Structure 1
Amino acid sequence: MHGLNGKVAVVTGGAQGIGAATAERLAADGAAVAVLDIVDTAATIARISQAGGRAIGVYCDVSSETAWAQALERCHAELGAVDVLVSNAYTVDVLPAHETSVASWERQLSVNLTGTFLGFTACLPDLSRERNGAVVLTSSVHALVGLPGRPAYAASKAGLTGLARQLAAEYGTVLRVNSVLPGPVLTAAWDGIGEDDRRLSAAQTAVKRLGEPAEVAAAIAFLASDDASFITGATLTVDGGWSVYKTSS
């Protein structure tokens, strides 16, 4: 991918899944990557290093303004100013609305939505310094389609698409902001799902298979790169056609 060589990228939720795949892809495309998470990032860092890339692991609770300041202090010291922000960290409680506590609701929005806002504002001085920053927010097809049991998650992910458009409009002369909406992608969230249910989910996509984290990472890397220099405020669905495919009644 052109347009990432020599840049510094921050990826939140980078210890596993789409976040890890994104960190690895950005590093492969030439970026130095700060991998932020609240769990151990050593495996992601090791894969990047073994492939010849440059990365550091940084502990960061994205819902904490103080944690963001500390994470960026280390990023600046070891990698330099931030050119790319990929906000991917999330949490989810699978419960219907009437069983979702206020504490659960607030925690999910705090990580998924407020955490993105805090990351953006913390990184804004860096991202705007050369009028060429790039931000990609990882939303979800849950922002488009209602599925039982995820009210706070869906609300926060829909909020991210609106936030991306707002930030794109507000800061369009100095940076770009886009959102990516993954569909059924084989991350750790699928570990407890049986083969029959996996086949059913695959059948509900237009391409008749589940996605891989690397496929979402490829879309994120494109939007983060200079190849996407005239794209901002976009919402890119990466779901194998899941959100548009419907069988006849």
Structure 2
Amino acid sequence: MTRTVLITGAGNGIGAAAARLFAASGDDVVVTDIDVDAAAAVAAEIVAAGGAATAHRLDVADSEQWQQLSLELRSANRPPAVIVNNAFFQVTGIAHEQSEGDWNQQLSVTLSSVYRAMRTFHDTLTAARGSMVNVSSVHGVLSWAEQPAYGAAKGGLISLTRQLSLDYAPHVRVNVVLPGSIETRQWDHQGPEAQELARRQATLQRLGKPEEVASVIQFLAGDGASYITGASLVVDGGMTTTLGA
């Protein structure tokens, strides 16, 4: 049976890899991103490969855009059975140096967007006995300098996942993945020294690939994980082992 899978932040990186993987398995993918051109490119790639996908602009911090997307999907008879919350926003700087706007935006995009997703589509997830997979980070359990709001948001995602898994049981399973250092465009502004340090911090001595996180997301959303809910799966190449979390 074909499922509709909604993925946020799916124009690049882990979200895009997840979109391709779900589509390759026969799911109908709703590719959303604040960068609609990036989302459209991913959706077009999926369709060209024989899959089903549409692209939609979605600012996950905007409740009105969630409602508009809901209207579009419901009118097209595409109620989401799976939601992957992957969008994030990151600004570096110690707490007193961050503007209140930057602080609030990081929490709104990374953490509160999951509330908006569940508020918008709790009924479709429930009807489908579906699944939500949230993308946190090792930042949720480890601390790096000048990441107060980002770390708080990613840590909050872990707690929120457990809470949602309880409140929407037994019909909806909710789990969270914690990626480590993954080869995404977030490394574009980092020098080779930073990447080498990240490799050394991982037990496997390399950066991960977006597809390696996407495969775990797909597993958690599938029948093979039917008895897993409220779980946090670390996908970090052993970084938290090396660094002692």
Same fold judged by TM-score > 0.5? yes
- Superposition pairs of residues 74-153 of structure 1, within 5 angstroms: 74-78=72-76, 80-130=78-128, 132-153=129-150
Of 1, 14, 17 in structure 2, the residue corresponding to residue 18 of structure 1 is 14
User: 1:32, 1:79 within 8 Å by CA — same for their partners in 2?
Assistant: no
- Map Cα deviations across residues 218-238 of structure 1 (whole Å, 9 max, x no partner): 000000111111000000010
TM-score (norm 1): 0.94
Among 191, 194, 200, the residue aligned to 2:191: 194
Higher helix share: 2
Counterpart amino acid of 1:95?
A: G
Q: Deviations over 1:61-110 (max 9, x none)?
A: 11122110111222233451110000111100011112111111111111
SS at match of 1:220: helix
Partners of 2:193 and 2:79 in 1: CA distance: 47
**RMSD (Å), alpha carbons:** 1.3
Opposite residue 235 of structure 1, the aligned amino acid is S
- The answer to whether the Cα contact below 8 Å between 2:131 and 2:172 also exists between their aligned partners in 1 is yes
- The aligned residue for residue 50 of structure 1 is 48
**Corresponding residue number in structure 2 for 1:182:** 179
1:142-192: CA deviation from partner (whole Å, max 9, x where unpaired) = 000000111101101111110100011111111100000110001110012
Q: Which consecutive residues of structure 1, in runs of 5 or more, have no partner in the other structure? A: none
Question: Unmatched 5+ residue regions in structure 2?
Answer: none
> Which of 156, 159, 179 pairs up with 1:162?
159
Q: Write the letter of the residue equivalent to 1:61.
A: D
Aligned residues: 242
Structure 2 counterpart of 1:66, which letter? E
Output the amino acid matched with 1:26.
Answer: F
Compute the displacement of 1:246 (Å): 4.2
Give the aligned partner of residue 243 of structure 1: 240
- Helix, strand or coil: the match of 2:163? helix
Fraction of identical pairs, as percent: 40
In 1, distance between residues paired with 2:63 and 2:159?
22
